[in-house]
Every structure is written in structure tokens, then in C-alpha cells.
Amino acid sequence: MPVSSDQVKRLRQLTGASMMLCKKVLDEANGDADKAMALLKKSSEALAAKKSERTTGAGIIETYVHGNKRVGVMLEIRSETDFVSRNEEFHALAHDIALHIAAMNPGYVNQESISEEAREEAKRLFMTEAGSLGKTPEMTAKIVMGKLEAHFRDTSLLSQYFVKDPAITVEELIKRAIGKFGEKIEVVRFVRYEL
């Protein structure tokens, strides 16, 4: 079944992917928009994985101050080229991530950036908490591992659910942007201030 230009336009508006890519995935999905969305998601993830080894030499510093003037964020986000880092959509992405940081207060960029000291401190706290439950040592160890995993998932920016669209994580948001721009994008660091 031939894909109409309206279908391609609608998919592009929903995803921001290129017209050619939208047409290609709609053709593969025989016009089914849901299947096409799934194919685009796979395509974005594959592109992000392929671009992960590249270096980011350009970028911006984005700031966000909440309306009450009591919470502020400074974010360093990078791309491979100035062409992308000067793009308004890249600035909008940076702003949305800074807004997310202000709202959700993550402690780390990703789980790999968590220091061994922070991991050990959290483990000690959860061991004390789980030890008071009176479970077997094996069960206590499983409880502690589950709590550690959940704690660091909830306090790492990339694994948090995006505040403006809880159906995706911040990492998925960035992967979509990588698919849209065709280059590596990474959050390098951030600082959040609160009075």
C-alpha cells in the first residue's frame, strides 16, 4: 500500500525525524504509524550507539532559574559540531534538560559517574535498614541490591523519567535528538542550586 504524504508529514511532526526516514519506516511498516514509531525508536537507538565513540567538540552552557528564583541550574551539554550546537532545537533540548534537573534534582549524570564512596555509603545505609527486617542473609543481600539499583536509577539524570514526558527517560530523549541531528550529544555536567 503506498504511503501518503500526509502520513509522512504527521510522523515527522510527531518525531522530528527527517522526511526521508519517516517515508522509509512507513514503507517498511506498510503505513502502520505505531509500527513506524517503533522502527524509528530502534533507528534512533542504533544511531546513538554508533555515534557513542565520537568526540564532542562543541556545545553550550544552558542556565535555568525557576520562577520562584529559589532554584537554578547550570548545564554543560555538548555536540560534535557548532552547526548543531547553534541550532534552536538543540537549545530547546538543553533548556528542557535544565528544567528537568531543576524539578527532579538528580545527583549524577549517569550511573557510571557515581563514586565508589557514594556507592559504599548507600550500601551501608541500606544494609542497616534491611538488617532490621529480620530476613535471612541471602534475602537481606537481595533487598540491598534492589534498593541500591532503584536508588541510583532514581538519582541519575539519564535514567530518570523525563519530567515533561514520563513515558521516556532523559537518555531516550537524548537518543531521539541524536537521531534527529545525526551526531553525538552528551550531557557533560550540571550544577543545581537551591535556597
Beta strands in 41-170 (DSSP E): 58-65, 71-79
- Cβ(16)–Cβ(176) under 8 Å? yes
Over residues 42-62, the pLDDT tens digits come to 776 666 666 566 677 789 999
CATH number at residue 175: 3.30.479.20
Q: Is the pLDDT of residue 97 over 80?
A: yes
- Cβ(168)–Cβ(161) under 8 Å? yes
Residues 180-185, mean pLDDT to the nearest whole number: 86
Residues 140-154, mean pLDDT to the nearest whole number: 89
Q: Letter for the amino acid at 131?
A: G
131 and 41 in one domain?
Answer: no
The CB-based long-range contact list for 63-70 (8 Å cut-off, 24+ gap) reads 63/98, 64/95, 64/98, 64/99, 64/101, 64/102, 66/102, 70/194, 70/195
Distinct helix (H) and strand (E) counts, the chain: 8, 3
3-state SS assignment for residue 72: strand
Q: Is the pLDDT of residue 14 over 80?
A: no
19 and 76 in one domain?
Answer: no
175 and 100 in one domain?
Answer: yes
Domain that holds residue 150: 115-154
Least confident of 39-43, 136-140, 170-174: 39-43
Q: Could you give the number of structural domains in the chain?
A: 3
Over residues 100-144, the pLDDT tens digits come to 999 999 999 998 888 899 989 998 988 888 888 888 888 888 888
CATH number at residue 37: 1.10.8.10
Q: Is the pLDDT of residue 7 over 70?
A: yes
Q: Which residue has the cell 532490621?
A: 132
Q: Is the pLDDT of residue 151 over 80?
A: yes
129 and 105 in one domain?
Answer: no
Residues 144-163, mean pLDDT to the nearest whole number: 92
C-alpha to C-alpha distance for 11 and 5, rounded to whole angstroms: 10
Q: Is the pLDDT of residue 16 over 80?
A: no
C-alpha to C-alpha distance for 152 and 133, rounded to whole angstroms: 22
